[in-house]
Amino acid sequence: MKTRLIALILTLIAIAPFAQGQEYRFEIGPAVGVSGYLGDLNNSNLFKHIGIAGGVLFRYNANSRWAIKANALYVGLKGNSADINTRFPYSQIYEFSSKLVDIGGQVEFNFLNYGIGPKYKKYKRISPYLTLGLGATISHSQGTYMGLSLPMGAGVKFKLKERLNLGFEFTMRKDFGDKIDGLSDLNGVPHSFAKNTDWYSVGIFSITYEFSKRCTKCHYVE
């Protein structure tokens, strides 16, 4: 009896590295990083005044290539006209410190089949990806401003364990308005959307935990 039990344990240990990884549909976790600003008070150096960014990510994994992500982020932005060559009317000096709440969704495309599983599925534990989406921005600077933003960027994911993921993502976010810095048309020339100067960047590290097992009965993927 003992011999059979020992043999069973050794067999399980031997086949464990080759066992199929369980797939999960959702993941959630915190994110933290830095932010940058381009606009009326900074037209060249995105990293002139670094801010802090952080929040929560929620992701639905449609399959190993495509995912849909929602985010709720706090973003700090800063700017000062004394740091740039642009001269404003009456030689005025402008500066701002703005706090943003960024809520939005993005679609992600993985370049590789991201995940852990049997060899025939050709999963990779690391994959770069592209992302594009739409967000809502609430800014508090010289009053409250609400508008839409267009996040676009790239990132990389690494599967630390079967249900644990590490990630880094950098996105540029085009603001649909011109007031995230509390300033607009400083030279007295109104801007159209095409010439709007307000952008902000977010570079974040994240760690997410997967949950909700995907059904794989009879080789059918939910």
Q: Which residues pair with 178 in a beta bridge?
A: none
Backbone angles phi, psi at 91, to 5 degrees: 55, 30
The domains located in the chain, with CATH, are: 26-219 (2.40.160.20)
Six-digit token string for 107 = 């679609």
Classify 164 as helix, strand or coil: strand
Residues 135-190: tens digit of each pLDDT: 999 987 667 888 899 999 999 999 999 899 999 999 999 988 777 776 665 555 55
In the predicted model, is pLDDT for residue 16 greater than 60? no
Say if residue 205's pLDDT is above 60: yes
Q: At residue 165, what is the residue type?
A: N
Q: What does the pLDDT read at residue 202?
A: 96
